[in-house]
Amino acid sequence: MHYASFLTFVTLVGLAFSLLCTTAVARDVADMSRYVIKSQRPRIWLTDERLTRLKAKAAAGDADWLAIKASADKGVEKPARENVLNCALAYQVTGDAMYASAAVAGMKALCDHMQTVFSGTNYDRKWNTGKWIGNSFGIAYDWVRDAMSEEDVRALVESPGLATAGEWLTQDYADMAPCAEGARPHIDTNTWVHWAENMGMVWLALHGDAPVADEWGRRAMLAASIWTAYHREVLKGGISFAAIAYGTSVNTNMFKFCEAVKTATGVDLWADLGKWPRDVVYRWLYWTGPDFKTINHYGHHKYSCDYNMLNDGQEMMMLWLADHFRGAETGRLAQGWLKSCSPFPRVRGAAFERFLLGVSGAAAADSSGLPLCYLSEYRGEVVARSDWSVDATWVSLRCGATHTGEFFRADSGHFNITKGSERLVADVGSDEFSRSAYSSDFRNTIVIDGNRQLTWDRWRSETGYDKMWQKTPEIIAKKAEILREFEESFGRITALDDAGDYVYAAGDLTGAYNVPGKLDVARRCTRQMLFLRPNTLVLFDRVDAAEEGVIKWRCHVPTLEAQHFRGEKLLKREVTTVDGGFSVKAAECEMVCLTLLPAGAKVSLSPTSILNKNKGFSGWQMATAATDGPVKSTAFLHVLKIVPTGAQPSPAPSAGADGDKVVLKLSAGGKDYTVFFNAGDGCGGAIKTAAGARRFPQKMRGANPVLLP
């Protein structure tokens, strides 16, 4: 983990904590009055009902149980910290003391490892080891506590490694306190959700045996109240603060911890998350590819296979939602998603979660009854599809709040296109684990006179933020304020409408190029998307620059990529220029993109070089449409149409002007359309068919006008 990641969460903590200043949640957590840990064990997850079910599954020879038992048997032969959780579960299911002994030995090895790591200076090693403590040590301790001797208990709870790790991971939490009404919190901390939930697990497990665990728990639960409030109040649309990079693992750990607190104390932290877990299910339903084997999202990964396919990381996350909300809409939809996507390619293996949480015959609901369009509100990402079939066309448009620090993505206005399992237009930067991948160079955006959208580093430099080292309450509050303003002004969806045969969305990405009072690049930069179901996408962009220069429109296409884990299968696509645009030929379809405006635009193809470290790719192609010389204002009009391979071309679209309107005439889905885009102030326009005309909205009608109440 890198330092920039923690700068991100400093911001989020400040923002979230400001939401808590007047709520009972912060006060209750601060004095811990709402948490009473039960005395009997196991406390974490293994209720009587669940344990009875697990024993029955084991007796029936459940395949996941056999995998867990095989791992536990290895731990008996050679105890190690990697096996402690499986050994502890095997003890609970079988009652065989040899598994408890192996778990204790593995926990002692983990404590020794913690002492080595947390006495050192390697920050990344500490961060990564911190993830073991709750989800291995804490849970295993709880599950084998009744089999431990008093000597074993003392050896573990008095371990120097545990003490050193516990203090290091929670030292910043100790400075947190509810703030006065209306005031911003005076916090400067590297709080991280992995640490909060891990030390919370240790508290739940060691309560009654180690007094220091209660202090760690007080600190961790205050941090936990901050991230639950932040997700509930701010992160609308199912995205976590770290979901750009680590969405599934962060969400999974959060859900695991909420369930642990519920079984150990009876307090329902799930409820503290509000509607957010439901939004997570919706987000994954809509971001899963039409074939239910691929995934369309943005996170930095070292291999394209991690990016472009569903795997057991997502499976683990949805299992927790399906289990906790079983029978309710959220749980039924999660269960239906799991059923549709199964079997999952194995990366790490989700046998533990499937055995622990899976219930055969659990009520499931598929997504076919849901609307075909969804807006992830905080992130400002519109997703639309032609239908719910496995060969549907899927498109998205991003234009919303960004995340600072390592999770920063300069991607306002970026769009994706997938047909079935074929990614035709995608986010190239998502597949590379490097700082350069975060810039707008590798997204489908606009470059104004050589100026890309702001990078996090450039914004810090231009605003002087990187020189604000003082840790006074005033400086900390000021930093939180200016970060919030930047994140919220980077881009926004301004209008959205799903009219059935089409989806219209508009975004304002002007703020992605400017620093008020410091950097003036774009006077206006807007993108309007019109998705004519089933297979046609229209993009209309208007740019007014502060200075004259060449303005470029960019689109990235994967030409050769691994679809399955470790490159078992390659998907090849041929990208070529055509008259007035370019063509992408896949196995069963072809996408043709035509540049209708500006007049005289120069269309070219060039290799995308970002993937030099990515073994899953041989390369991408970047299509560029550039103005024919320097200008201060321009409009780009593109029509992207998907047809079966070898199909006869349809009549070419045409564009013209009518007063302050740009007029587009085209055929799509067996209908003739005339589309009017405003070329003056504001977005909007109208669409006309033989059946009549309809205006596009110029502003949002409600927070999420196409789906949720």
Coil, strand or helix: which one is 621? strand
Question: Distance (Å, rounded) from C-alpha 562 to C-alpha 553?
Answer: 27
Element (H, E) at 227: helix 211-233
Q: What gap in Å lies between CA 192 and CA 214, rounded to an integer?
A: 19
Give the residue, 13 or 471, on which the prediction is more confident.
Answer: 471
Is residue 310 scored above 80 in pLDDT?
no
Range with lowest mean pLDDT among 243-257, 488-502, 666-680: 243-257
Short-list 156, 148, 131, 138, CA closest to 85: 138
Exposed/middle/buried for 627, CB within 10 Å: 0-12, 13-18, 19+?
A: buried
Residue 348: other Cβ atoms inside 10 A: 10
Region 54-81 average pLDDT: 95
The answer as to whether 453 is a domain residue is: yes
Instruction: Give kind and range of the element (H or E) at residue 416.
Output: strand 415-419
Q: Within 80-192, where are the H helices?
A: 84-94, 97-118, 123-132, 139-144, 150-157, 160-170
Q: How many angstroms separate the CA atoms of 296 and 599, rounded?
A: 33
- Model confidence at 561: pLDDT above 80: no
Is the confidence at residue 617, as pLDDT, over 80?
no
For residues 102 and 169, the model is more confident at 102
Q: Which two tokens stand for residue 507?
A: 């975004």
Confidence of residue 375 (pLDDT cuts 50, 70, 90): very high
Binned at pLDDT 50, 70 and 90, residue 352 comes out as very high
Question: Phi and psi for 421 in degrees, rounded to 5?
Answer: -100, 5
CB 393 within 8 A of CB 419: yes
pLDDT bucket at 610, cuts 50 / 70 / 90: low
Give the number of other Cβ atoms within 10 Å of residue 121's Cβ. 6
pLDDT at 453 over 50: yes
Closest by CA position to 315, among listed 252, 260, 364, 223: 252
In a domain, 680, yes or no: yes
**Sign of the CA dihedral running 700, 424, 365, 259:** negative
Average pLDDT over residues 453-461: 84
Under the banding of pLDDT at 50, 70 and 90, the label for residue 17 is very low
pLDDT of res. 33:
86
Closest CA to 205 of 262, 264, 160, 250: 264
Q: For position 135, what pLDDT does the model report? A: 84
Structure-model confidence comparison of residues 566 and 551, the more confident one: 551
Spatial CB neighbours of 511, under 8 Å, sequence gap ≥ 6: 412, 489, 490, 491
Q: Which CATH number is 415's domain given?
A: 2.70.98.70
Mean pLDDT computed over 426-433: 68
Task: Provide the 3-class DSSP secondary structure of residue 294.
Answer: strand
Q: Which residue has the higher pLDDT, 398 or 460?
A: 398
Q: What number is the average pLDDT over the span 681-700?
A: 92
Q: How far apart are CA 419 and CA 564, in angstroms?
A: 17
> Per mean pLDDT, which range of 38-42, 227-231, 375-379, 587-591 is the poorest?
227-231
Helix or strand or coil: residue 95? coil
Q: Report the distance separating Cα 283 and Cα 375, nearest Å.
A: 9
Distance CA 709, CA 702 (A): 9
More confident residue, 10 or 506: 506
Residue 301 predicted with pLDDT over 60: no
CB 221 within 8 A of CB 195: no
Place of tokens 């309450």: 473
Report the C-alpha gap between 536 and 529 in whole angstroms: 11
Distance between CA 73 and CA 219 in Å, rounded? 37
Residue 602: is its pLDDT beyond 80? yes
Asked if the model's pLDDT at residue 607 lies above 50, the reply is yes
Query: What's the confidence (pLDDT) of residue 196?
Result: 78
Q: Is the pLDDT of residue 12 over 50?
A: no
Which tens digit of pLDDT belongs to each residue from 401-424? 776 655 677 889 999 999 998 889
Render pLDDT for 161-197 as a digit per residue (tens, 0 to 9): 999 988 888 876 665 544 333 332 333 333 456 677 8
User: Which two tokens mark 119?
Assistant: 């006495």
Q: Would you say residue 20 has pLDDT above 70?
A: no
Instruction: State residue 206's pLDDT score.
Output: 96
Instruction: Read off the tokens for 586.
Output: 């896949």
- Per the domain annotation, does 600 fall within a domain? yes
Q: How far is CA 321 from the centre of its chain?
A: 16
Judged by average pLDDT, the poorest of 335-344, 508-517, 577-586, 607-616 is: 607-616
For 640, the domain range is: 373-696
The 10 Å Cβ neighbour count of residue 37 is 18
What percent of the chain lies above the pLDDT cut of 90? 54
Considering its fold, how many domains does the chain have in total? 1
Evaluate whether residue 221 is within a structural domain.
no
Higher pLDDT, 463 or 542: 542
Q: Name which of 137, 157, 289, 255 is nearest 212 in CA terms.
A: 157
What pLDDT is attached to residue 86?
A: 95
Query: Is 12 in contact with 483 (CB distance < 8 Å)?
Result: no
Average pLDDT, the chain: 84
How many CB atoms lie under 10 A from the CB of residue 440?
25
232 within domain boundaries: no
Residue 539 belongs to some domain of the structure: yes
- For position 97, what pLDDT does the model report? 97
Residue 117, in any domain of the structure = no
| 3-class SS string, 533-545 | CCCEEEEEEEEEE
Q: How confident is the model at residue 571 (pLDDT cuts 50, 70, 90)?
A: confident
* Residue 654 within any structural domain of the chain: yes
In the prediction, which pLDDT does 693 show? 95
Mean pLDDT of 295-304: 58
d(CA 189, CA 177) in angstroms, rounded, equals 12
| The pLDDT of residue 401 | 79
Residue 472 has pLDDT above 90, yes or no: no
